[in-house]
C-alpha cells in the first residue's frame, strides 16, 4: 500500500506536467466464451481529451477496467508513457499516475468529503507505517502540508469548499460526482479515466462538469480519457473520439471525422445519412 510510499517528493508540490500518453495495443478480453474486446487499439495523447463512445455493451467500460487493472487482457498490451503496465497490480498503476472515477460513484460513504479527497493523496505520502502509527511529527507535518495543498488546489478548483466536512452520503448526486473527480485529482494523476462523468445529470450539472473537465485538461495538463453516452458533450470537449461497437474499434479521429463516419452512423442509428450528434 502506500503504507510506505515510493514517491520521494510529494507529487502535489510539483508543477503541472503534460500528462503521459496512454496506449491500448491489440487488447483482447474474454469472459468465458464471450469476447468483450477484440484487438482494440487506440491511444490517448498526452494532455488531450480523448473520448471512447459506443452503444451499450460495446465494451467501453471493459476497456476502462482493463486499463485500471481489474481485468487482465488475453492478448495485447497497455502502456503508460511507453511503460508496459499490462500485468501491473491495480494499486501500482495508481502510483504510476492512473486515476479514475466510476460509472456508479464509488465514494466511501462512511467518510467525509475531505477524508475521501485525502485518500486520493494517500499514495504521495512519504510516511512509513511505523511513523504513522506513532503519529510522529514528520507524519503530522506531512499530513498538514498535504491537506493544505489538497485544499488549495482541488477543493477550490472544484468549488466544494462549503461541503468538505459533510459525509458524502448526504450529498446530491451531481455533487458526489464532483467529489469523486476531486478525489481522482488529489492523486495528481498523469492520466484521468472518467467513466460516464455526466451520466444521470441534468443539463446544468452536465455543463458544470464539462467545464471542470476542460479546466482540468487546460490548467493541470492531465491526459483525459472518458467514456460517455452524452454525444453532445463528447463532441464539444474531446480532441479525439474512439468509437467501439461489439468490442471492436470501428472509427477514431477528430469529432468532425467521427460524426460523419458511415460505420458510426450505422452503429448508432441503424440508418445512413443521419447525424448522431
Q: What CA–CA distance (Å, rounded) separates 105 from 156?
A: 21
Q: Which three cell numbers stand for residue 146?
A: 498535504
Beta strand 22-31 with 34-44 is antiparallel
Quick one: 62 or 68, whose CB is closer to other proteins?
68
Out of 21, 49, 127, 244, the residue judged to bind other proteins by CB under 8 A: 127
Quick one: 133 or 257, whose CB is closer to other proteins?
133
Question: Whole-number minimum distance, CB 192 to other proteins, in Å?
Answer: 12
111 near other proteins, judged by CB under 8 A: yes
Residue 43 near residue 27, CB atoms below 8 Å = no
123 near other proteins, judged by CB under 8 A: yes
Q: What CA–CA distance (Å, rounded) separates 165 from 234?
A: 33
Site string for other proteins, 2-41 (x = CB under 8 A): xx--------------------------------------
Q: What residues form DSSP beta bridges with 53?
A: 243
119 near other proteins, judged by CB under 8 A: yes
Per-residue burial over 131-140, b = 16 or more CB atoms within 10 Å of its CB, e = otherwise:
bbeeeeeebe
Beta strand 240-245 with 34-44 is unpaired
Size of the site for other proteins (CB under 8 A): 36
Quick one: 210 or 224, whose CB is closer to other proteins?
224
Site string for other proteins, 175-194 (x = CB under 8 A): --------x---x-------
125 near other proteins, judged by CB under 8 A: yes
**CA proximity to 143, closest of 163, 117, 181:** 117
Of residues 212 through 251, those in contact with other proteins by CB under 8 A are: none
129 near other proteins, judged by CB under 8 A: yes
Site string for other proteins, 67-106 (x = CB under 8 A): -xxx------------------xxx--xx---xx-x---x
110 near other proteins, judged by CB under 8 A: yes
Quick one: 142 or 228, whose CB is closer to other proteins?
142
Which 3-state string (H, E, C) describes 131-197?
HHHCCCHHHHHHHHHHHHHHHHHHHHHCCCHHHCCCEHHHCCHHHHHHHHHHHHHHCCCCEEEEECC
Out of 25, 28, 45, 143, the residue judged to bind other proteins by CB under 8 A: 143
Quick one: 99 or 233, whose CB is closer to other proteins?
99
Instruction: Kindly list the residues in this chain that would bind other proteins in the complex (CB under 8 A).
Output: 1-3, 68-70, 89-91, 94-95, 99-100, 102, 106, 108-111, 115, 118-120, 122-123, 125, 127, 129, 132-133, 135, 139, 143, 146, 183, 187
Amino acid at each position: 500500500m502506500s503504507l510506505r510510499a515510493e514517491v520521494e517528493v510529494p507529487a502535489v508540490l510539483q508543477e503541472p506536467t503534460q500528462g503521459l500518453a496512454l496506449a491500448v495495443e491489440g487488447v483482447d478480453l474474454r469472459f468465458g466464451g464471450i469476447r468483450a474486446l477484440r484487438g482494440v487499439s487506440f491511444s490517448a495523447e498526452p494532455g488531450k481529451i480523448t473520448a471512447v463512445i459506443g452503444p451499450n455493451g460495446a465494451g467501453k467500460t471493459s476497456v476502462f477496467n482493463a486499463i485500471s487493472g481489474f481485468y487482465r487482457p488475453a492478448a495485447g498490451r497497455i502502456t503508460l508513457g511507453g511503460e508496459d503496465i499490462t500485468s501491473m497490480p491495480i494499486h501500482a498503476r495508481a502510483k504510476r499516475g492512473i486515476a479514475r472515477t466510476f460509472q456508479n460513484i464509488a465514494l466511501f460513504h462512511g467518510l467525509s468529503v475531505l477524508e475521501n479527497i485525502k485518500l486520493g493523496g494517500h499514495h504521495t505520502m512519504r510516511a512509513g507505517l511505523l511513523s504513522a502509527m506513532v503519529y510522529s511529527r514528520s507524519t503530522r507535518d506531512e499530513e498538514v502540508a498535504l491537506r493544505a495543498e489538497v485544499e488549495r488546489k482541488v477543493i477550490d478548483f472544484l468549488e466544494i469548499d462549503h461541503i468538505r466536512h459533510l459525509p458524502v452520503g448526504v450529498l446530491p448526486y451531481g455533487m458526489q460526482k464532483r467529489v469523486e473527480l476531486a478525489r481522482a485529482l488529489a492523486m495528481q494523476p498523469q492520466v484521468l479515466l472518467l467513466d460516464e462523468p455526466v451520466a444521470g445529470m441534468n443539463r446544468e450539472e452536465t455543463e458544470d462538469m464539462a467545464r471542470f473537465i476542460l479546466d482540468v485538461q487546460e490548467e493541470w495538463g492531465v491526459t483525459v480519457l472518458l467514456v460517455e453516452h452524452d454525444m453532445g458533450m463528447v463532441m464539444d470537449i474531446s480532441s479525439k473520439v474512439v468509437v467501439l461497437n461489439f468490442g471492436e474499434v470501428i472509427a477514431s479521429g477528430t469529432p468532425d471525422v467521427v460524426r460523419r463516419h458511415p460505420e458510426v452512423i450505422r452503429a448508432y442509428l441503424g440508418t445512413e445519412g443521419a447525424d448522431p450528434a
